[in-house]
């Protein structure tokens, strides 16, 4: 009887002594090695405007931001270029974009997944500088798309693909 | 439920179902090396959740009765935040060990700061495809609730380098504000590292 108690005691003692052997150790990553980005802080650097673009005979582009300037452009017989929109730059200037996105990535392995996650098609690729040109399948939410891509840790930088300089009609 | 209360939207229906459903198969539990993989967990807001059964077996009578008197306006509007944490250099996950990262979240001003749903995206470079099966992931909320959101040895397949999206419902009703801990473990004591952890992103839907 004493032997049975002794054996039970040894089993219990060994279980207690070696219990930690079967736990996976967990080590925190130091805070100074973690770079946090929060979407609340993410502000688009460039804003796609509700605009229509027209072209003069001398090939200059005209940006219209309201009905009045649109009517002026139409009355002048200018041709609308529907594939372009106006972008407001951080310095307040206007530029034209073909609504494609220039995206610089951290790792080429991410590109396919980024396209899948955001509904983007790869139009062109410049692997030497980690850049792809992407086209959104839904161009109605491009500003929101820019905010989300800016906050994405796989993305170094994203901007609208700009085309030629233009002017605003008086 | 919506016949009893036409003002309900999907969030109201979810809130009521989560609160009225019943625990089923209460003893269903798997614990591996001290990490709880499948079990009923009562979160800090009092909601029961299990990785197999969600919030449990729907109780139709209770849900319809609750719906009839529920004020949808109590839920307010839903907000969204996306917080990404990238490591200054990839973190190697050692053999049979875990690493954790703390992510601090503050809800927008004027919001209740109550979690509705979380989408976790984990960026991981696996040594090779087979080592993906060795990985397990847990999240611990600021209130101290821990859920296993990826279980090891579940025949996961995919690219060795991945940005894995995982839906997490078990923190429903908890406080959003505070430090959330995401931990990645290697469960296979085989003498090899499963790969490196590059970063993590939390997409939080809350009110």
Q: Is residue A62 part of a domain?
A: yes
- pLDDT tens digit sequence for B3-38: 999 999 999 999 999 999 999 999 998 888 877 888
Tell me what pLDDT residue B160 has. Answer: 65
A170 pLDDT higher than 70: no
Q: Average of pLDDT values for B77-94? A: 91
Q: How large a percentage of chain A has pLDDT more than 90?
A: 16
Q: Residue A94 is part of a domain; what is its CATH number?
A: 3.30.70.80
B108 pLDDT higher than 80: yes
Q: Which residue of B has its CA nearest to A26?
A: B98
Q: Test B84 with A109 for CB contact under 8 angstroms.
A: no
Residues of A in contact with B104 (CB under 8 A): 36
- Tell me whether B153 touches chain A (CB under 8 Å): no
Q: Which domain covers residue A74, as residue numbers? A: 47-167
Q: Which residues contact B108 (CB under 8 A, 6 or more apart)?
A: A40, B79, B81
Q: Give me the residues of A, 121-160, that contact B with CB < 8 A.
A: 148, 151-154
**Higher-scoring residue by pLDDT: A55, B71:** B71
User: pTM for the complete prediction?
Assistant: 0.67
pLDDT tier at B179, thresholds 50, 70, 90: very high
Q: Is residue A82 part of a domain?
A: yes
Q: Test B159 with A39 for CB contact under 8 angstroms.
A: no
- pLDDT tens digit sequence for B125-151: 888 878 888 899 999 999 999 999 988
Residues of A in contact with B185 (CB under 8 A): 24, 26
Taken as a whole, chain A contains a residue count of 170
* Nearest Cα to Cα of residue B148 among B158, B140, B156: B140
- Tell me whether B123 touches chain A (CB under 8 Å): yes
The SS3 call for residue B191 is coil
Counting one residue from chain A and one from chain B, the pairs whose CB atoms sit within 8 A come to 89
Q: Is residue A76 part of a domain?
A: yes
Q: Is residue A92 part of a domain?
A: yes
- Tell me whether A33 touches chain B (CB under 8 Å): yes
A21 pLDDT higher than 50: no
Q: Test A39 with B100 for CB contact under 8 angstroms.
A: no
Tally of domains in chain A: 1
- pLDDT tens digit sequence for A62-86: 888 888 888 888 888 888 888 888 8
Q: Which residue of B has its CA nearest to A23?
A: B33
Q: Is residue A130 part of a domain?
A: yes
Q: Is residue A68 part of a domain?
A: yes
Q: Is residue A18 part of a domain?
A: no
Tell me what pLDDT residue A164 has. Answer: 67
A15 pLDDT higher than 70: no
Tell me what pLDDT residue A58 has. Answer: 78
Tell me what pLDDT residue A16 has. Answer: 56
- Tell me whether B174 touches chain A (CB under 8 Å): no
What ipTM score was computed for the predicted complex, to two decimals? 0.90
Residue pair B139/B110 in contact (Cβ under 8 Å)? The answer is: no
Full set of structural domains in chain B with CATH? 10-75 (no CATH), 79-206 (2.60.120.260)
- Tell me whether B88 touches chain A (CB under 8 Å): yes
Q: Test B97 with A25 for CB contact under 8 angstroms.
A: yes
Q: Average of pLDDT values for A50-67? A: 84
Q: Whole-number mean pLDDT of chain A?
A: 81
Q: Test A24 with B186 for CB contact under 8 angstroms.
A: yes
Q: Is residue A131 part of a domain?
A: yes
Q: Whole-number mean pLDDT of chain B?
A: 92
Residues of B in contact with A27 (CB under 8 A): 97-100
């Amino acid at each position: 009887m004493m032997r049975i108690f002794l054996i039970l005691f040894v089993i219990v003692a060994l279980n207690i002594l070696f219990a930690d052997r079967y736990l996976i150790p967990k080590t925190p990553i130091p805070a100074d090695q973690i770079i946090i980005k929060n979407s609340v802080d993410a502000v688009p650097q460039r804003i796609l405007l509700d605009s229509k673009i027209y072209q003069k005979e001398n090939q200059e582009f005209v940006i219209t931001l309201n009905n009045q300037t649109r009517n002026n452009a139409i009355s002048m017989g200018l041709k609308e270029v529907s594939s372009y929109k106006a972008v407001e730059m951080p310095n307040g200037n206007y530029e034209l974009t073909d609504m494609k996105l220039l995206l610089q990535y951290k790792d080429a392995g991410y590109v396919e997944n980024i396209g899948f996650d955001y509904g983007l098609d790869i139009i062109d690729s410049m692997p030497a500088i980690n850049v792809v040109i992407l086209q959104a399948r839904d161009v109605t939410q491009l500003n929101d798309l820019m905010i989300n891509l800016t906050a994405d840790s796989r993305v170094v930088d994203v901007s609208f693909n700009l085309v030629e300089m233009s002017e605003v009609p008086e | 439920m919506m016949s009893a209360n036409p003002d309900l939207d999907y969030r109201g229906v979810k809130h009521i179902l989560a609160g009225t459903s019943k625990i089923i198969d209460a003893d269903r539990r798997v614990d591996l090396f001290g990490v709880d993989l499948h079990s009923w967990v009562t979160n800090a807001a009092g909601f029961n959740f299990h990785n197999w059964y969600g919030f449990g077996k729907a109780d139709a009578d209770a849900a319809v009765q609750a719906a009839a008197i529920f004020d949808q306006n109590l839920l307010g509007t839903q907000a969204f935040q996306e917080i990404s944490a990238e490591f200054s250099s990839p973190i190697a996950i050692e053999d049979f060990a875990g690493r954790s990262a703390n992510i601090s979240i503050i809800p927008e001003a004027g919001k209740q700061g109550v979690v509705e749903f979380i989408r976790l995206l984990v960026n991981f470079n696996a040594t090779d495809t087979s080592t993906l099966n060795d990985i397990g992931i847990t999240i611990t909320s600021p209130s101290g609730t821990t859920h296993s959101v990826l279980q090891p040895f579940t025949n996961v397949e995919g690219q060795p380098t991945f940005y894995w999206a995982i839906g997490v419902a078990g923190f429903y009703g908890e406080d959003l504000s505070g430090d959330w801990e995401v931990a990645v473990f290697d469960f296979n004591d085989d003498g090899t590292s499963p790969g490196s952890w590059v970063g993590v992103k939390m997409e939080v839907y809350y009110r």
